[in-house]
Amino acid sequence: MRNTKKPADCKISGFFLLLFFTLSNNSFAQHPSPFSTRNESPFSLIYGLPLASPAKLLENNQSRWISSFNISNTINSQTSNSENLFIDIETWHVNFLYDTNLKENWMLRVQLPYIVHSGGFLDSPIDSYHQALGLPENIRPDFPHEQINIDYNLNNQNQVNINSRQNALGDISFQLAWQAHLTNRSALSYWLSIKLPTGNEDKLTGSGATDVASWASMSYRLTDTRWLYGQGGLLYMGDSDVFTDIHKNWAGFANAGIKFQLWNEIELKAQLDVHSALYDSKLDFLNQVIQLTFGGSYTINSKQKLDFAIAEDIKEGSSPDVNFNISWWIYL
- Each residue of 124-165: pLDDT tens digit? 676 676 677 666 666 655 666 678 999 999 999 999 999 999
Q: Is the pLDDT of residue 10 over 50?
A: no
Is pLDDT larger for residue 61 or for residue 30? 61
What integer pLDDT is reported at residue 2 of this predicted model? 41
One-letter amino acid at 145 equals: H
Q: What is the pLDDT of residue 108?
A: 98
Contact (CB, 8 A) for 49 and 314: no
| Contact by Cβ (8 Å): 82, 154 | yes
Supply the mean pLDDT for the chain: 88
Output phi, psi for 129, to 5 deg: -65, -45
Each domain of the chain, given as residue ranges in start order, spans 30-331
Question: What's the confidence (pLDDT) of residue 317?
Answer: 86
Beta-bridge mates of residue 323: 72, 311
Residues in the chain, overall count: 332
Out of 79-83, 140-144, 167-171, 293-297, pick the least confident.
140-144
- Give the tens place of pLDDT for each residue, 210-265: 999 999 999 999 998 999 999 999 999 999 999 999 999 999 999 999 999 988 89
C-alpha count within 13 angstroms, C-beta hemisphere, residue 74 = 28
CATH class, domain 30-331, is mainly beta
Q: Region 179-191: what's the mean pLDDT?
A: 97
* Residue range 23-37: mean pLDDT, rounded: 69
Which residue stretches of 55-163 are H helix? Answer: 123-133
Let me know: does 71 contact 94? Beta carbons within 8 Å: no
